[in-house]
Structure 1
Amino acid sequence: MGRGLYAWLPERRGWGLANCGLLVGAGTALWIDTPYDPPLAAAFLDRSRALLPAGVGIDRVVVTHANGDHFWGAGVVPDAEVVCTREARRHLCFEPGPAELAALVAGSDPASPLGGYLRRHFGVFDWSSAGRVRPDTYFTGELELTVGGHPVRVSSLPPAHTAGDLLVHLPAQDVVFTGDVVFASTPERPGDHPVHWAGPLAGVIGACERALATGAGTFVPGHGPVLDRAGVRGHIGYLERVRDRAHALHAAGVPAGEAARRVIAERAHPELGLPERLLVTIGTEYRHLDGAEQPSLMSVMTELARLAEELATPPDGRRG
């Protein structure tokens, strides 16, 4: 990407396959996010070392939010300073760690909707050698860093994808790493439907607009291909449509689960994978409209897995 900046973009799409960044400066280097499990993180570290001058290591990791697919790989650089927002640090109290998630995947009944879903989407990861990663530095507001002469502007965000998101603006490279406030898709490389846990969607849209307000020309999303400014605006249009449909269906008294099914059936974006994730995003929006409490992660994932099975079952009820 120029001027010491590199992006690592997984070739496949799906749960847990996040984009990461490497910024190489004079005598130091920074990671922006990390892969999900130690094998993927080790591969990213090997790729990074091939680009580093002799004697230079990864000294700092900036984590865009506390979901494990952006965070847990920091364990392969144990001496690096890990930076996140204060809200992301709090979120770690509610996020299952790698050992807990591995046990859940291995111990679930593969014949059940939830067990089958977890095995298909998370059974490909190996957390057997992973431990919990703890942040070293956490902040709220703005954080100005320098990486070997390169300025790095880190900005915390109001609740959006999670309660602890941040943006990383690299002005010398004209690039913003957005984390999961953007799930990107292009005609050449279709992505997946976003999933937003904290919301509301107005907060996610506002975060995208803040990314554009930096004036940068290139945006590395949390998942999917790199975007230009028009691509981010297109993603805002997607978010606005989901928000507007959720609000209209809520006003009509349609329950959240049925609202998600109706939006999926409209097939406004048939190229996107994992449509069942709209259940989470629309459910989050309903929760804000109703002032309701956040349900447990297990109950949400169980309902999502049932919807995925429903979507995969032909109308005659027979598979394959």
Structure 2
Amino acid sequence: MTINRANVSAIAEDLHVWLPPKRGWGLANCGLLASATTALWIDTPYDPVLASEFLAASRRLLADGVTVDRVIVTHANGDHLWGAGVVPDAEVISTREALEHIHYEPTPKQQHALVAGSDPASPIGGYLQEHFGRFDWSATEPVHPDTVFTGELELRVGEYPVQLTSLPAAHTGGDLIVHLPRQSTVFAGDVIFGSTPEQPGDHPSHWAGPLENVIAACERILATGAGIIVPGHGPVLDRDGVRAHIAYLEYVRERAHALHAAGIPALDAARRVIAEQRHPELGLPERLVLTVAAEYRHLDGSEAPNVLEAMTQVAVVAREIAEDAAHARRLFPDVGYRA
């Protein structure tokens, strides 16, 4: 995959954000906070190719002799963590709870073998190769945090305070937010997936939940008073953008609870929410399979499937959506459809 010349923009004093110039699985936003003596990353790109591009862009912005010596990881999904290998001497910081999520996911090399070796004719094989085949983890070693914490942790980057707050399980077990008060900015990780009318994003995918916790985390971000919110994916938001995201989450929560009360199985409930097309501007609607399933688990106490089982359901629904769209195009060729 080549996403060179990704958008590295200054958004506040000595603060830059790396925004991949497209949306999709694995294309996470990352931050660089620099001072005259030290610098840190907030999250990393998914694979060494992308991470090396971000590192090269970071070095161009740093004073002579300054290196990226700390990496804050908002959660332990690989698309925010695995790129830390390009700065092997940096201190990696996460919540203590994130350590458990690292063991929940495949290692980078396992995931690479799974994607490369999957049958493209099967729903899961075709989906993995379409959305993850662009990444290369063939030589990527697992990344283990050096410093873990619970509650709150305050750091300094030169004169700038950096406030880390761990969250109850939301997107994953082990999320944190990063508040930079001098820059009036919060890095939200995947508690928020950004979308604006000008730059539509993707549907969120939440592995842990419940959505009540995700909403509470969004409200906690607003409570900081920050005016700039960097989501884990998608465009940078203002405070109104966060409020719009809360409204989306409340809608999904309400529908999941109503369908659960009606006895509709989780997978069929996700299909129904997708069919309502409440947010047709968002990509990857099949990811609602993950979010609805997580909400159901909190309602009925069921066990979480492994990652491959969950992604197989996502892939099946994605194929259904594509087939329905293709059928509609054949019936009504003059009407625009989005798969």
Query: TM-score under structure 1 normalisation?
Result: 0.98
**For this pair of structures, how many residues does the alignment match?**
320
Q: In the TM superposition, what whole-angstrom CA distance separates every residue of 1:71-104 from its partner, at most 9, and x where no partner exists?
A: 0000000000000000001211111111010000
User: Which residue of the partner structure matches residue 251 of structure 1?
Assistant: 261
The alignment partner of 1:240 has SS state of helix
Once the two structures are TM-superposed, the CA of residue 28 in structure 1 deviates from its matched residue by 0.3
User: Which residue of the partner structure matches residue 116 of structure 2?
Assistant: 106
The alignment partner of 1:196 has SS state of coil
User: Which residue of the partner structure matches residue 115 of structure 1?
Assistant: 125
Q: Is the 8 A contact 1:20 1:35 kept in 2?
A: yes
Q: Is the 8 A contact 1:25 1:147 kept in 2?
A: yes
Q: Is the 8 A contact 1:194 1:277 kept in 2?
A: yes
Note if 1:71 corresponds to 2:81: yes
Measure the CA separation in 2 of the matches of 1:177 and 1:317: 41
Measure the CA separation in 1 of the matches of 2:310 and 2:48: 27
Measure the CA separation in 2 of the matches of 1:314 and 1:10: 30
Once the two structures are TM-superposed, the CA of residue 316 in structure 1 deviates from its matched residue by 7.9
User: Which residue of the partner structure matches residue 145 of structure 1?
Assistant: 155
Match of 2:144 among 111, 134, 139: 134
Structure 1 gaps, min length 5:
none
User: Which residue of the partner structure matches residue 56 of structure 2?
Assistant: 46
Q: In the TM superposition, what whole-angstrom CA distance separates every residue of 1:147-177 from its partner, at most 9, and x where no partner exists?
A: 1111000000000000000000000000000
Measure the CA separation in 1 of the matches of 2:23 and 2:255: 26
Q: Is the 8 A contact 1:313 1:319 kept in 2?
A: no
Note if 1:61 corresponds to 2:74: no
Equivalent runs, 1:165-180 vs 2, <5 Å: 165-180=175-190
Match of 1:22 among 25, 29, 32: 32
The sequence identity of aligned pairs, in percent, is: 68
Structure 2 gaps, min length 5:
1-10, 331-339
The alignment partner of 2:283 has SS state of coil
The alignment partner of 2:177 has SS state of strand
Measure the CA separation in 2 of the matches of 1:37 and 1:217: 30
Measure the CA separation in 1 of the matches of 2:100 and 2:126: 30
Once the two structures are TM-superposed, the CA of residue 295 in structure 1 deviates from its matched residue by 1.1
Give every structure 1 segment of 4 or more consecutive aligned residues whose post-TM-superposition deviation is greater than 4 Å. Answer: 315-320
Note if 1:35 corresponds to 2:38: no
Once the two structures are TM-superposed, the CA of residue 315 in structure 1 deviates from its matched residue by 7.0
RMSD between aligned alpha carbons? 1.3
Note if 1:306 corresponds to 2:278: no
Match of 2:289 among 279, 287, 291: 279
Once the two structures are TM-superposed, the CA of residue 130 in structure 1 deviates from its matched residue by 1.3
Measure the CA separation in 2 of the matches of 1:302 and 1:229: 35
The alignment partner of 1:109 has SS state of coil
Measure the CA separation in 1 of the matches of 2:302 and 2:265: 13
Letter in 2 for 1:72: W
Equivalent runs, 1:170-319 vs 2, <5 Å: 170-314=180-324
